Amino acid sequence: MPNSTRASAAYPDRLVEYLFASMMIGWGLWLIAPWWQTFGNPTYAALAALATERQWGIFSVCVGVVRVGALVVNGHWCRTPLLRFMCSWFGVVWWLVLIWLFFQNPSPNPPAGFVFYPIFIVFELVSCARSMADAFRANAFRPLRLPRLLQLSRAGSHE
């Protein structure tokens, strides 16, 4: 497990996680931008039926920012690999949902980038495995302890 004196960006095995986080942020910003009308394309009809373009965009940006945050603080707290795992697992679900929604499309042809979504799922699963390995190395599954400050105040209350 990396120590807290080295930046997590120095670990190339997390570059894929940074890539997916930036893809979610970029896709979200694209949808939030007022000059694009992405959901005007019939390919996005199923997505538009669930939420507005702006809502999808805000949600996507939020997920991407949480992923970046988990990667930046990784190694500074033993539980951050678990947060990375949850973000990567959410990425698996994200791509599966997009695949399913695009299959709901009334148009006979999926979007050109559709072929990449199964590849994204594979790499998200690899990221899940790597973050779980980091979690085991960091003892992230041990029981939670109270912060020292609270432990001292509890110890003092028994006297």
The token pair that represents 94 in the structure block: 């994200």
Q: What is the mean pLDDT of the chain?
A: 80
Is the pLDDT assigned to residue 1 strictly greater than 50? no
Mean pLDDT of 126-154: 74
Is the pLDDT assigned to residue 147 strictly greater than 80? no
- Can you give the pLDDT at residue 4? 44
Global pTM reads 0.72
**How many alpha carbons fall within 13 Å on the CB side of residue 47?**
23
- State the Cα torsion 135-136-141-144 to the nearest 10°: -70
Contact 64, 23 (CB under 8 A): yes
- Can you give the pLDDT at residue 47? 85
- Can you give the pLDDT at residue 55? 95
CA angle 90, 79, 118 (to 5 degrees): 25
Nearest CA among 69, 74, 77 for reference residue 22: 69
Q: Summarize pLDDT for 68-119 with one digit per residue, the tens.
A: 988 888 766 667 788 888 889 999 998 898 888 888 876 777 777 788 989 9
Task: Give the position of tokens 């994200």.
Answer: 94
